[in-house]
A = this chain, B = another copy of it.
Amino acid sequence: MLNTFGTLYRLTSFGESHGSGIGGVIDGCPPGLCLDEAFIQAELDKRKPGSAKAGLAGTTRSEADRIKFLSGVYEGKTTGTPLAFFIENTNQKSQDYSKVAQSYRPGHADRCYDEKFGFRDPRGGGRSSGRETVARVAGGAVAQLYLRQLGIKIFAYPEAIDGIYAEQYGDFDLEHLDGRLFFAPNEGVIPHWQERIEEVRKDLDTLGGVVKIEAHGVPAGLGEPVFQKLDAYLSFALMGVGAVKAVEIGDGLRAAQSRGSVNNDAMQYENGRLTYLSNHAGGIEGGISNGQPIIARAYVKPIPSVAKEQKTVSKNGENIMLSVGGRHDICAIPRIVPVLKAMTAMTLMDMVLLQRRCGFTGRENG
């Protein structure tokens, strides 16, 4: 709880936007995993401010975001003891934060932190900054290394930006997400997203979107029946990423207008193998994975830092107008994509380890 995510695969995150850096401790990673640092760094680079993937959506702040492992690795393999890592903040502009400290940015956590903790670190949003998510990407990358060995692969990509859905512009090709701007699922949608973002930027405003997550190769049997259902835990993981305001599993909200006979995923045996005829459930029934791809979506609000002037208040009781300039993103997408992928990876990793307590591993090993 608090700043730790997970039960058996646990990430404890620390650090602030404009402090010395962001880091984390991964506890519970099984021993003997080859820690492919190039893969981990590549995941971090996807989230990196100023990443080319962001097209025109991103911040101009640039960070090296080089990860350094501080413990838990010996001769390139995890030892089963805590994997700590640190990512230095290299681009902290020395800056006067007294104005930020004295006013509450609309849509931000500024006032809530003051209410919760009595005061706050105003430098770049402190702990509430999106920069904290770099620790999650690292934790998720390590999980992905492990899950890949079990044949589990996670995909994440924008399904829509500002209501422009990619599916209108071509089929999806998940194998080349990393090569495309925005991690887009097809090439066709990219110019439309670019155009819209450019319009909104000129309007001094920001915009949101929808990220779809798919996990392929997940064995049946993951998830705990009652409270810690796989869908509940995944929802917890995804909604815990700032700017996410809704999460759906499988058909999600469309299920609320469907019929039972349609929404149920019928089963049949084909060549001696149990298959499903549809995947409305998004791979989870009764809170437990059924062996089909896990499908989830995260609905992402517009970045609250808008350059337009907004009504707000100062800490000491004045009504003021505030324009939040600086090096901010226009859209949380695509930078939120690797973060959501990471949270999904950590969720599945934890569930894999938890399921092992039962003493049989089901499809995991076969």
Contact = CB atoms under 8 A, between A and B. Distances in A.
* Interface residue tally on A, bucketed by range: 35 or more
A289 to B, nearest CB: 7
Contacts of A175: none
24 contacts: A3-B81, A4-B4, A13-B82, A14-B25, A15-B84, A20-B71, A79-B117, A79-B121, A81-B127, A109-B286, A208-B258, A210-B256, A227-B240, A231-B245, A232-B240, A246-B248, A252-B299, A258-B302, A260-B308, A261-B310, A267-B312, A268-B312, A268-B319, A356-B356
A239 B240 CA distance: 14
A13 B290 contact: no
B205 A261 contact: yes
A2 B23 contact: no
Given A107-B265, A113-B288, 16 more contacts: A2-B224, A3-B225, A14-B82, A23-B84, A79-B121, A107-B281, A112-B286, A112-B288, A116-B220, A208-B263, A246-B255, A255-B302, A259-B302, A261-B310, A266-B310, A269-B317
Q: How many copies does the complex hold?
A: 4
A38 interface: no
Interface stretch (A28-36, A41-49, A176-184): A28-36
A128 interface: yes
B27 A115 contact: no
Contacts of A266: 106, 310-312
A209 interface: yes
Interface stretch (A58-66, A186-194, A357-365): A357-365
Given A2-B10, A228-B1, A310-B261, A248 B245 contact: yes
A92 interface: no
A109 B285 contact: yes
Contact of A74 (B121, B235, B240, B353): B121
Contact of A220 (B30, B115, B289): B115
A122 to B, nearest CB: 8
